[in-house]
Structure 1
Amino acid sequence: MSEQTTDPQAPTGRSVLVTGGNRGIGRAIARALAADGDRVAITNRSGELPPELAELGVLAVQCDITDTAAVDAAFSEVEAAHGPVEVLVANAGITKDTLLMRMTDDEFTAVLDTNLTGAFRCARRASKGMIRLRRGRIVLISSVVGLYGSPGQANYAASKAGLVGLARSITRELGGRGITANVVAPGFVQTDMTAALPEAQQQAYLAAIPAGRFGAADEIADVVRFLAGDGAGYISGAVVPVDGGLGMGH
C-alpha cells in the first residue's frame, strides 16, 4: 500500500476577500482570518496594504466597488492568486450625514451605491465561484443604525437596512448550494473616528449603551470568524447585533 504524500507547496486555508479591509473593522477582520491560516485579500480604493497585514501575507487589490468592471477585475486578480473566493466579507462603506430636509439626491444615492449596491456587486460576483464549488460564506457588515435608525443618517440607515433583505434573498436563492449569507450589525466601535469625538458626545453615546463601553473592532471580527466557519453552516439569513445591547436586536 503506497503512502500518500502532501505537497508542501499546496495552498492552505480558504480564499477570503474582505472589502474595505485596510482600516478599522475591515482590517481587524482581515487580520483575524489571516491569522487563522486563510488566504486573505482586501480591497480598497487605493490598494493600500497596512504593514501588519503585509506581515500576514495578505494581498491588497485596488477596487472601487461602485464600478462593476472594477469589481470583476478585482475578483479575477484574487482568483488568480488564491483561487475562487470561498468567503466574502462585504465591509466597505461610506457616510454622508446630514438632516433629511438638507440631504441631496446625490448624497443619498452615493451612500446606497457604495454600501448596498457595492455589496450586491461583490456578492453577485462571488456567487459564481461559490455555486461551482457548492459552498461559500457571505457576511455583510451592516450597522445598528440600519435597524435602530439615527437622525441625520437616512441614507446610511437605509443602505445598512437593505443588506438584511439582500442576505435573506441570497439565502433563499442559494441556500441549497451550501452557501450561507448573514449580516453582522456592529454598534459604536472604538476607532480613530470615535476617539476624536468631543468628550460630552462620547459620554452621551456611552449612556445609551447597556454595556457601558464602546466595542472593539476585534469583537466584530470574532463574530465574523464564527459566521465564516464550519460551526455556522446551519446559520443563514441571520442578523447578529454586536452592539453592547444598544439596539436590542431591532
Structure 2
Amino acid sequence: MTNHSLVSNPKKSIIVDFPLEKIRESVKNISLLDHKYEPGQQDDVFNQYIFKASEFLSWGAVILINLSRVSENKTEISIEVMRNFGAFDSSVEIQDANRHLINVVNYISRLTTLSSQEIAGMKTRLQQVEAEREREKRKKSEERAERIEVMKVRFHRRNKTAAAVLALFLGFAGAHRIYLGQRTKGYISAFFFWTLIPSVIGIIDFFSFIFMSQEKFDAKYNSENILK
C-alpha cells in the first residue's frame, strides 16, 4: 500500500505601497489578463476574493485572496491556493499551485500600474471581442441551420424522372401518385387496378411527365419544397 502525505496549501503574503482601494480594483480585474481565472465570490466588506481555475486534471484550483489595510498607502495581500476538492497530495500539483501564486502576483502587479481609465478600456475591448465572438457563433449557427434546411428540402424534393418511371411501370397501382403526395388518387388507382384504367392513366402520366418542363413540374409538385 502506498502512503500519500498531504501537503499544506501554498500561501504567499506581501505588503505593497498602494492604497487598499487600488489593490482591490486590480484583484477584481485579474480575469481581464487571464480568462483561466474565473471570478467567484467577491466580498468588498471583508476584502476577500475567490477565483477558480481549471487545473489539476478535473478537480480544479481555488485561489483565495485577502486584502488588509496596513496604513493609508500600504496594503497586505494574502494569497492561498487550494484544491477545489480535498488537499494536494503530489509534487506536480504543488508545482502547479505555486505557478498560480506567481501568476496572480504578476497580474495584480501589472493591473496596479494601470489607471482606472486604462482598466475600463480593457473591459470595453474585452466586451467587444466577446460580442464579436458571440456574433460569429450566432452566424455559424444560423448558417448550419440553413444548410440543414437546404438538405431537408433537397431530400424531400420530388424528382420528375422518378415520377415518370413509377408512372410507366407501377402506374397501375398508383405508385407515382403516392410518390407525388396524391395519396387518395394513388389508393383509388390501386383499388381499381384490375380494370386496367389505372394502367392507361399511368402511361398518359408518363408521357405527361416526360414532356413537362422542370419548372412546371416543380410548380405543380414541389411548390412547398422550392427554395425561397
TM-score of the two chains, using structure 2 as the length reference? 0.22
| Greater per-residue helix proportion | 2
Of structures 1 and 2, the larger Rg is shown by 2
Q: TM-score, normalised by structure 1?
A: 0.21
Q: Which has the higher contact order (CA 8 A, sep 6+)?
A: 1
